[in-house]
Chains A and B, each alone.
Chain A
Amino acid sequence: MQVRAENISKRYAGMAALDDVSLTVGSGELVALLGPSGSGKTTLLRTIAGLELPDSGTVFYNDRDTSEMRIQDRGVGFVFQHYALFKHMKVMDNIAFGLRARKKNKPKEAEIRRRVMELLDLVQLSGLEGRFPSQLSGGQRQRVALARALAIEPSVLLLDEPFGALDARVRKDLRRWLRDIHERTGHTTLFVTHDQEEALELADRVVVMSKGRIEQSATPDEIYDTPATPFVFSFIGESSVIPVAVGNGRATLDERVIDLDVGTLPDGPAQLYLRPEDVAMVTDGGPGIPGLVVSTRRIGGMRRVTIECGLARHRIEFDAPAEIPIANSQRLQVRVIGGRVYGAGSEGYETEKLAASATSDFKWAKAEGWLDR
């Protein structure tokens, strides 16, 4: 089933949680909603589920306007971050809940049991149907929650930070496993995450959100390789930002030309966004930007080097092969071999800004209902 949200707006206490957002999830697609906390991703998911009513805008399920549909009739499989299992019910009864709640076409008890056993098999929890949720680990609980959502044969599966409460290892396993299940069952699936790695690894398409708006909606490759906005660039992966000047169709740093396409940017100040792999050390004596090494640290097979360059001593991080010895205070030359130039006035995702806006974050968290949980 195709899910289409059109021009959704939602305000909490005067703040726009969703600002004219439109999103389409194709039938059978697996889409990630990615963004920092307070970006409105959970609100959008809950609005699509029918757990929140939008101030304006409409959600369509296969061209059917859902605004008059009761949540019970929508056929939404919803999975919460903290599982929301029925604590007083055994695993069996948790999963069977949706089938037993049916008024029309309620299967016979034997049929329900058979279906539950099938689902337990699918989520690899066979033999645990007699346990209470408190007797299960976090990963097992989330799998029960998913089986419970799948039991009603949902037309769309919505997951709100499904792996957020689990430790890193379990999270990785479940991620792969969710991908498997999606391939086997083919449900239209939309999940919310603030973990970029999770979004890029799992989803067919990633929708990056910030401040109640969609910044970019594209495949994981496109999101990483051609970020539409500085926000997307800086939110995904690691990045350094240095101010440059654009003039005559070229970008320059302290009069030194940087070999990058600046597109149709107008002349004037601009920002150069670089990933660690967009900068290479000059080893052949060719031209480059001189810099002073401030720190180095070892990351896997590479050495992450931070240098200061230019008159204003802007910091750039890049990766150098580990076998090349680099010491602090060493002078070296680097060459820009990638990266993107964005015009002035566009805003990136800056971690320093987060601290400054801690209070507004708090308000956002409140608006998104995080604190009430």
Chain B
Amino acid sequence: MTAAAPDRARKTSWRRQSVLPGFNLTLGYTLAYLSLIVLIPLAALAIRSASLGWTEFWAIATDPRIVASLQLSFGAAILAALVNTVFGVIVAWVLVRYRFPGRRWLDAAVDLPFALPTAVAGIALATLYAPNGPFGAFLEGVFGVKVGFTSLGVVVALIFVGLPFVVRTVQPVLEEIDRETEEVSATLGAGRLRTVTRVIMPGLLPAILTGFALSFARGVGEYGSVIFIANNLPFQSEIAPLLIVIKLEEHNYAGATAIATIMLVISFAMLFVINLLQAWSRKWFGHD
């Protein structure tokens, strides 16, 4: 008995004692599940690409065609996520704040990019934005901009698949925002713009960052819709996931995993930075 007491104290020193049991079970489950679904496959990927050896790996990483595809993949994903952040917040705002006929239909339609097979989206977008499609012809005729079968088409496809992420993360937070703080702001003499930027936006920032991160991550990984709307020319509109598929078709498994590993590292680094930003914004704006 006496020997068990200090042992118990040591065991619980790094976590708070709780009257509600379940910590061990749930943590164990979480670790096992995460390992099985996420960590082990990713580790296998890293090990496989490690079989290449450093010089060979470096040769792949600096291959101009691969660098160009990575630039396009990440650049387009960031651009699409930025566009989605702006318009997703507006969509969420309209859905939360206004009551109008057809609101529920619109609300449901936001989820369509989730549900649709991305190839279907790609074909639909390609039809619209192709040089002879209705949108494509208009844009090329009026502004001289080619969208279909170019890198711009990649961005359009990524905007399409990423939109629900921003809307669905911002919407519930916006619903929680207290109308009274806006009313107080108005009585204190603040105009609408000042109220939105100084009172509403700071509270929304963490949710907006999350939406941006999710939309970005989705864009980096997107494959199905992009290959239909882009003409997939190397150095122009070839995305990194497509290059991975090409390497696989060439039975160059090591090459494919090398590109995959590079993508993994960059994605992880970016998501990590976004998480830091989020933590910082929470602290700065006094959430919790």
Contact = CB atoms under 8 A, between A and B. Distances in A.
A84 B189 contact: no
A84 B203 contact: no
Given A372-B179, A373-B180, A97 B188 contact: yes
Contact of A78 (B178, B184, B198): B184
Contacts of B184: 78, 80, 84, 145, 148
A133 interface: yes
Given A101-B190, A134-B286, A80 B180 contact: yes
A102 B203 CA distance: 22
B286 to A, nearest CB: 4
Nearest to A75: B189
B189 A72 contact: yes
A86 B181 contact: yes
Nearest to B285: A88
B187 A71 contact: yes
Interface in A96-144: 97-98, 101-102, 132-134
Given A82-B180, A372-B179, A88 B202 contact: yes
A72 B185 CA distance: 9
B83 interface: no
Contacts of A246: none
Contacts of A373: 178-180
B34 to A, nearest CB: 32
Given A84-B178, A87-B286, A49 B187 contact: yes
B48 to A, nearest CB: 46
B183 interface: yes
Contacts of A148: 184, 188
A279 interface: no
- Interface residue SS majority, chain B: helix
B285 to A, nearest CB: 3
B287 A87 contact: yes
Interface in B154-180: 178-180
Given A87-B286, A88-B285, A133-B286, A78 B183 contact: yes
B280 to A, nearest CB: 13
Nearest to A81: B180
Nearest to A160: B180
A72 B186 contact: yes
B260 interface: no
Given A80-B180, A84-B178, A84-B183, A101 B286 contact: no
Interface string B93-128: 000000000000000000000000000000000000
A203 to B, nearest CB: 22
A73 B191 CA distance: 10
A101 B203 contact: no
Contacts of A151: 188
A99 to B, nearest CB: 9
B263 to A, nearest CB: 35
Interface in A4-57: 49-51
A152 interface: yes
14 contacts: A51-B186, A71-B187, A72-B190, A80-B180, A86-B198, A87-B286, A89-B202, A98-B188, A98-B190, A101-B185, A132-B286, A133-B286, A148-B188, A152-B189
Given A71-B186, A72-B186, A72-B190, 5 more contacts: A72-B189, A86-B181, A102-B189, A134-B286, A152-B188
Interface of B: 178-181, 183-191, 194, 198-199, 202-203, 285-288
Interface of A: 49-51, 71-78, 80, 82, 84-90, 97-98, 101-102, 132-134, 145, 148-149, 151-152, 372-373
